[in-house]
Structures are given as C-alpha cells and as structure tokens.
C-alpha cells in the first residue's frame, strides 16, 4: 500500500511539473483527451452527471471525458504504466476544468442554502469556507485539480 501511495504522490508531482498555463480555448493543440494518452485509465467524470458535491451537471461539461495538457498526459502515462505493472489502474475524476465550470462552482458556493449534497461529499465542512478559497480555478489553467 505504501508503494501505491508513493506512486500516486509521484504522479501528482510529475503531472504538476508537466502542466502549462494555457487553456484549450487559446490553443487546443496543447491538449489531449486523457484516454487517448492513457487508455487504461478509468474515468469517473462526476461533473458531467449529478452525483457530485453540487448535485447537478456542471456547466461546461458536455462530455464525460478528461482533457489534460499533452505534457501532463505523457507524464501520467508513465505513472500509469508503473501502476499497471503492480496490478492497479488510475482512476480519474476530473482534469482540465472549463471556465464555465468554475463559474458554476462560484455561484454554488455563494448560495449557502444549497447543501443538498453535504451529507455525501462534505459532511464535516462548513460550506461558507468554500467562498474564501481559490480551489476551483487551478484546473482552468491545465493544472490538475488535486494540486
């Protein structure tokens, strides 16, 4: 288990180092569909559906797919190959986040009464704390959301 945690930590560090601060709208040639680069990755793009912390499909998620910068996808492929050799696969929940998705999260965070998914996704978190952070913005720059 410790080896897996090390590999996943390494994956995050490699992907973070490989990311560039561009958006698909500015230059889509720098982005790839994650499953083209890492075909064994399992995608669970929850923002395309309603089972997520907001409880609704998030604006801008028009397909249940993941986009990453080409460099980040190449780095993630190397990590995936290492993990597969150990009998595991990577599971991806989100990647590049459209600006419309960020705007949706900001609107949701401003509506303190909307807590329908609190018991499932943030039972011990006061929703008002989400308004003072910049957590939704990183993925619009091609930076994975877990960094």
Which domains are present in the chain? 2-100 (3.30.1380.10)
Q: Give the integer Cα–Cα distance in Å for 74 and 34.
A: 9
pLDDT at 39 over 90: yes
pLDDT at 16 over 50: no
DSSP state of 12: H
How many angstroms from the chain centroid is the CA of residue 93? 5
CA distances (Å), 58 to each of 15, 49, 97, in order? 24, 8, 10
CA distances (Å), 7 to each of 14, 26, 44, 83, 142, in order? 10, 32, 20, 7, 21
What tens digit of pLDDT does each residue of 41-63 get? 999 999 999 999 999 999 999 99
Residue 107's contacts (CB-CB under 8 Å, 6 or more residues apart) are none
In this prediction, residues 66-95 reach a mean pLDDT of 93
pLDDT at 132 over 70: no
**Per-residue pLDDT, 6:** 46
């Amino acid at each position: 288990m410790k080896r897996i945690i090390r590999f996943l930590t390494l994956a995050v560090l490699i992907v973070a180092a490989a990311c560039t601060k561009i958006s698909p709208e500015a230059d889509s040639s720098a982005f790839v569909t994650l499953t083209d680069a890492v075909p064994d990755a399992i995608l669970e793009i929850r923002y395309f559906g309603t089972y997520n912390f907001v409880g609704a499909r998030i604006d801008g998620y028009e397909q249940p797919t993941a986009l990453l910068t080409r460099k980040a996808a190449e780095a993630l492929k190397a990590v995936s190959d290492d993990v597969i050799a150990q009998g595991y696969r990577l599971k991806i929940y989100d990647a590049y986040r459209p600006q419309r998705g960020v705007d949706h999260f900001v609107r949701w965070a401003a509506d303190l009464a909307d807590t329908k998914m609190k018991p499932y996704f943030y039972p011990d978190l006061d929703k008002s704390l989400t308004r003072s952070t910049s957590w939704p913005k990183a993925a619009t720059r091609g930076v994975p959301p877990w960094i």
